[in-house]
Amino acid sequence: MVGAGPAGSSAAYHLARAGVDVLLLEKSRFPREKVCGDGLTPRAVHQLIRMGVDIRAPGWTRSRGMRWVAGEHRVHIDWPALGRFPDFGLTRTRHDFDDILARHAEAAGARLHTGWKAEGPLTDRSGRTVDVTASAGSAEPVAFRAPVVIAADGASARLALPMGLERDPKRQIATAARRYYLPG
Ligand SMILES: Cc1cc2nc3c(=O)[nH]c(=O)nc-3n(C[C@H](O)[C@H](O)[C@H](O)COP(=O)(O)OP(=O)(O)OC[C@H]3O[C@@H](n4cnc5c(N)ncnc54)[C@H](O)[C@@H]3O)c2cc1C
C-alpha cells in the first residue's frame, strides 16, 4: 500500500483485519499537517465508527450540517437523516487525523513505514505491478514485492501517472480556506 492518507490507512486497516499481510509506505512522518477543510460527512463518520475509531475522545467536534457562503448568499443545510448513517458530521484537524487512522491500521496488524517515499511501480512481463521501489531519505531505493499494490498516494499520483492514469481535465476544481477559533 502506498500512502497512509485516509484511503490508504482505511484500506490497510480492513485488509489487516481480514488477515492480509499489509505493508503501508508513507513518505511523511506523523503527525503532519495537510491541506484540508477538516470536515467529515455522516458517511465518513459511519466508516470511522465501523473501524472502531473512538470518536468520543477529545479533539472531535460534531457538526449539524454545512453552511455555504458565496458572496452575499448563505445557505445552511443540515445533514439529512439517512437511516443507517449518523445524523451528525465531525471535524478533526488533519494534523492528527491521518496519524490516528495510520496507528489504527497498525494496531490491526498493518506494518507502517513512515519516511519512505515510493519512487514508482515496477511491472512484470504482463504489465502487472509487482514491485514498488521506495527510498528513505538519501538512501538507495529498495524494491518491495507484493502480490497486490494499492496506490493510495492521493493527488500526487506518483504511482498512477506511470501506469497511464491521468487527471481528467474536465473535472471541476474547488478552493477552500479554513480558520481555527479558540474559545474566549
Ligand atoms: C483545500 C482542500 C480542502 C479539503 N477539505 C476537505 C474536507 O473538509 N473534508 C473532506 O472529507 N475532504 C476534504 N478535502 C479532500 C481530502 O483532503 C481528500 O479527499 C483526501 O485527503 C483524500 O485522501 P487520500 O487518502 O486518497 O489521499 P491523501 O490524503 O492525499 O493521502 C495520500 C498520502 O500518500 C502519501 N504519499 C504521496 N505520495 C507518496 C509516495 N510517493 N510515497 C509514499 N507516500 C506517498 C502522502 O504523504 C499522503 O499521506 C479537501 C481537499 C483540499 C485540497
**Smallest Cα–Cα separation from 121: which of 153, 85, 93, 94?**
153
Mean of the pLDDT values across residues 29-47?
93
pLDDT of residue 176: 66
Give the confidence band of 16 by pLDDT, cuts at 50, 70, 90: very high
> How many whole angstroms from 184 Cα to the centroid of ligand 1?
32
Kindly state if the Cβ of 5 falls inside 6 Å of ligand 1. yes
- pLDDT tens-digit map of 79-136: 998 888 999 999 999 999 999 999 999 999 999 999 999 998 888 888 777 789 999 9
pLDDT of residue 178: 77
> How many whole angstroms from 126 Cα to the centroid of ligand 1?
31
Kindly state if the Cβ of 28 falls inside 6 Å of ligand 1. yes
Rounded Cα gap, residues 97 and 64, in angstroms: 20
> How many whole angstroms from 100 Cα to the centroid of ligand 1?
14
The mean pLDDT of the chain is 91
Mean of the pLDDT values across residues 42-67?
96
Kindly state if the Cβ of 92 falls inside 6 Å of ligand 1. no
* Residue 155 φ/ψ, nearest 5 degrees: -65, -25
